[in-house]
Structure 1
Amino acid sequence: MNAPSRYAVTLPGVPGRHGPPEVVIVHATGTMTADGGPVYADTAGTFQVEIIGEMARPLAEPAGSGQHTCLHAQPLP
C-alpha cells in the first residue's frame, strides 16, 4: 500500500495561553530521513516532519510548538 501524499498535522496551542491547536497540511517531498522514513513539508518548506503511522515527528522544532516531539498526523485524500 502506498503512503498518502499529504497529511494534516495538529500542533497544540501554546501551553498556558489556552490557544486552539493549529492544523498544518504537509505534502510528501520525495526525500527520506537517514532512517529511511518519508519526509513531509508544508507549502513553504519550513515545517518538516517524518510520518510513521499516525505520528508525525518534527525534523526541526516548529515555531510555537513547544517541546513536542510526537504530533498527530491524519492522512488526507
Structure 2
Amino acid sequence: MNTLSRYAVTLPGKPGRHGPPEVIIVHATGETTADGRPVFADTVGTFRVEITDGIARPLAVPAGPGRHTCLLAQPLP
C-alpha cells in the first residue's frame, strides 16, 4: 500500500464559541494500528490519528462535549 507521509487535519472550533478551526499537520510515524492502518502524529506526538479515505480518526479521544471522532484530513506534498 502506498501511503502519503503528511496530512493536514482540521479540528473544528470550540462549540458555542464560533472560534476558527485549528489545522494540525501530522506525519507518518512508521507505526500501525491493530487493524494494520498507519499511525500519524503531530511533531510533539500527543495528537495521534489513523487516516482512511481522507478521514482522520483520533486514536485517543478526550472525554467531554465537542470532541470529534471523525475529522477531515488533506494530503500534503
Query: Fold match, TM over 0.5?
Result: yes
Deviation at 1:59, TM superposition (A): 0.4
Residue-pair matches, total: 75
Identity across matched positions, percent: 76
In the alignment, which residue of structure 2 is the partner of 1:58?
Answer: 58
Q: How far apart are 1:45 and its partner, in Å?
A: 0.0
Query: Which consecutive residues of structure 2, in runs of 5 or more, have no partner in the other structure?
Result: none
Residue of structure 2 equivalent to 1:47: 47
Quote the residue 2:22 is aligned against.
22
Q: Deviations over 1:37-74 (max 9, x none)?
A: 10000000000000001000000126xx9321100000
Q: Between 48-57 and 1-10, report the one with greater CA deviation.
A: 1-10
* Worse-superposed segment, 46-55 or 1-10: 1-10
Match of 1:11 in 2: 11
Unaligned runs of 5+ in 1: none
